[in-house]
Amino acid sequence: AQSVTQLGSHVSVSEGALVLLRCNYSSSVPPYLFWYVQYPNQGLQLLLKYTSAATLVKGINGFEAEFKKSETSFHLTKPSAHMSDAAEYFCAVSRLTNTGNQFYFGTGTSLTVIP
């Protein structure tokens, strides 16, 4: 089965500190992986996407994620947290099935940034 697991439903960091949000996937074939962000009262917005072109993927707002096949991980990082980064973050995996493009989302990680 195709799925993603996000470790830590809540993460708190100080402003200026490193942000690390964890995501592990289960897949028998190289997957397509995504990170989405949801700000309060808004829809999900694509942060970045891995499609096997490069293992280090840079996204918007200074975020990046590294695909590590040996660890089946796709953790999201940002060197220095900003107050505006406070949001819900979702990891997702996409795989083509006989019924179409299936997206599987993790349970989300709520990021709090402490001033």
Partner 1 sequence: DSGVTQTPKHLITATGQRVTLRCSPRSGDLSVYWYQQSLDQGLQFLIQYYNGEERAKGNILERFSAQQFPDLHSELNLSSLELGDSALYFCASSVDSFSGNTIYFGEGSWLTVV
Stretch that binds partner 1, among 20-28, 30-38, 59-67, 78-86 (CB under 8 A): 30-38
101 binds partner 1 (CB under 8 A): yes
Residue with token string 């990891």: 91
Q: Which is nearer to partner 1, 100 or 115 (CB)?
A: 100
3-state DSSP percent of the chain in helix, strand and coil, to 5: 10, 60, 30
84 binds partner 1 (CB under 8 A): no
b/e map 50-72, b = 16+ CB within 10 Å: beeeeeebebeeebbbebeeeee
What residue spans of the chain are helical by DSSP H? none
CB of 84 to partner 1, least distance (A): 18
Give me the residues that bind partner 1 (CB under 8 A), please. 32, 34, 36, 42-46, 49, 51, 90, 94-97, 99-105, 107-108
